[in-house]
Amino acid sequence: MNSFIGTYECKADAKGRLMIPAALKKQMSSGLNEGFVLKRAVFQPCLELYPMAEWNSLMVKVNKLNRFKKKNNDFIRRFTAGVKVVEVDSAGRLLIPKDLIAFSGISKNVVLASAVNILEIWDKDSYEKAIDDAASDFADLAEEVMGQDEEGNGIS
């Protein structure tokens, strides 16, 4: 799996199950047998869904941290807090555990948003607010992150 494409709206039922939209399920097909890891996002009140291969690749990097440094140990503990292994069931549903629903504020209306190699899972109202809040700063952010400077830093 290289990357996901698109933003999808769906509904969560009373048990916290999401019906994955068909177009997204097709993109997820390579990871359906291996499963996924669901965790709290670091910077936003949403969840991050990692295909198992992506999660394992990330854990290789995390495992290189020296656990005898307190800040590394604290980071690992917080980064992996609430991590769950999840699967898409035969009906195409993903069950979000109750503690992660509480963290993300997910209610009935949900947005699944591609974030390159992972999916973000948002309560729809929170997602729209985050997009609206970032809209005014996006041009400056795009220039800073993606633009080329005199030293050649940035994406080329």
Between helix 138-146 and helix 124-135 the angle, nearest 10°, is 80
Determine, yes or no, domain membership for 143: no
Whichever domain contains 53, its CATH number is 3.40.1550.20
The pLDDT score that the predictor gives to residue 83 is 96
Instruction: Identify whether the C-beta of residue 7 lies closer than 8 Å to the C-beta of residue 24.
Output: no
Please report where in the chains the tokens 């996901």 appear, as a residue. Answer: 4
**Residue 155 placed within a domain:** no
Query: How do residues 38-84 score in pLDDT, each as one tens digit?
Result: 999 998 999 999 999 999 999 999 999 999 999 999 999 999 998 99
pLDDT in tens, 128-145: 998 887 766 777 777 888
Which domain range does residue 62 map to?
7-124
pLDDT digits (tens, 9 = 90+) for 83-131: 999 999 989 999 999 999 999 999 999 999 999 899 999 999 999 998 8
State pTM to two decimals: 0.86
Query: Does residue 152 lie within any of the structural domains?
Result: no
